[in-house]
Structure 1
Amino acid sequence: MGQIIINDCTLRDGMHALAHQYTLEQMVSVASMLDAAGVQIIEVSHGDGLNGNSVNYGFSRHTEMEYLRAVREVLKSARLAALLLPGIGTIEDMDMAIEAGIDTIRIATHCTEADVSKQHIEAARERGLDTVGFLMMAHMLETSELVKQAKLMESYGAHCVYVTDSAGALLMDETREKVRALKDALQCQVGFHNHHNLGLGVANTVIAAEEGADRLDGSIAGMGAGAGNCPLEVLVAVLNRMGIESGVELYPLLECAENVVRPLMTRPVQTDSSAIMLGYAGVYSSFLLHTERASKRFGVDSRDILVELGKRRMVGGQEDMIVDVALEILEKQKG
Structure 2
Amino acid sequence: MLKILDCTLRDGGNVVGKGFDANLTSMMLKALIDCNVDYIEMGNSGGIGAYEVAGFTKAETDEKYLELMQPYAATGKVGMFLNAKRYRQKYVELAAANHLAFLRVGVDADEPDLAIEPIKVIKKNGMKAFYSAMKAYIVSPEELAESAKKLEAAGLDEFTIMDSAGCMLPDEVEKTVELLTKSVSIPIAFHCHNNLALSAANALAAYRGGASVLDGGLMGMARSAGNLPTEAGIAVLQKYGELKHINLYSLLQFINDDLEPIMKKDHDYHNPITPFDLVLGITGLHSSKSALFKKVAAETGVNLYQLMVHTAVIDRKNPSEDLIRKVAGEIKA
Q: TM-score with structure 2 length normalisation?
A: 0.76
Corresponding residue for 2:62? 64
Corresponding residue for 2:142? 144
Match status 1:264 vs 2:263? yes
Distance 1:168 1:270, change over 3 A: farther
Q: Take 2:258 and 2:187, find their aligned partners in 1: how far apart are those partners?
A: 32
**Aligned partner letter, 1:268:** Y
Distance 1:269 1:203, change over 3 A: farther
Question: Taking every aligned residue pair, what percent have the same amino acid on both sides?
Answer: 26
- Match of 1:243, SS state, is coil
Distance 1:146 1:136, change over 3 A: same
Distance 1:175 1:73, change over 3 A: same
- Structure 1 residue corresponding to 2:44, chosen from 43, 46, 49: 46
Q: TM-score with structure 1 length normalisation?
A: 0.76
Distance 1:6 1:30, change over 3 A: same
Q: CA RMSD in A?
A: 1.9
- Structure 1 residue corresponding to 2:116, chosen from 93, 118, 143: 118
Q: Take 2:263 and 2:271, find their aligned partners in 1: how far apart are those partners?
A: 14
Corresponding residue for 1:198? 196
Q: Take 2:65 and 2:151, find their aligned partners in 1: how far apart are those partners?
A: 28
Q: Give 1:1-335 correspondences, 5 Å limit.
A: 3-53=1-51, 58-74=56-72, 77=75, 79-262=77-260, 263-264=262-263, 266-268=267-269
Unmatched tracts of structure 2, length 5 or more: 273-333
Q: Take 1:270 and 1:198, find their aligned partners in 2: how far apart are those partners?
A: 17
Q: Take 1:251 and 1:78, find their aligned partners in 2: how far apart are those partners?
A: 23
Q: Take 2:233 and 2:61, find their aligned partners in 1: how far apart are those partners?
A: 31
Distance 1:118 1:246, change over 3 A: farther
Distance 1:167 1:109, change over 3 A: same
**Larger gyration radius, structure 1 or structure 2:** 2
Corresponding pairs, count: 269
Distance 1:61 1:159, change over 3 A: closer
Unmatched tracts of structure 1, length 5 or more: 272-335
CA contact under 8 A between 1:6 and 1:215: conserved in structure 2? yes
Post-superposition offset of 1:259: 2.9
Q: Take 2:154 and 2:53, find their aligned partners in 1: how far apart are those partners?
A: 32
Post-superposition offset of 1:60: 3.1
- Match of 1:116, SS state, is helix
Distance 1:96 1:246, change over 3 A: farther
Q: Relative contact order (C-alpha < 8 Å, sep 6+): which is higher? A: 1
Q: Take 2:28 and 2:14, find their aligned partners in 1: how far apart are those partners?
A: 16
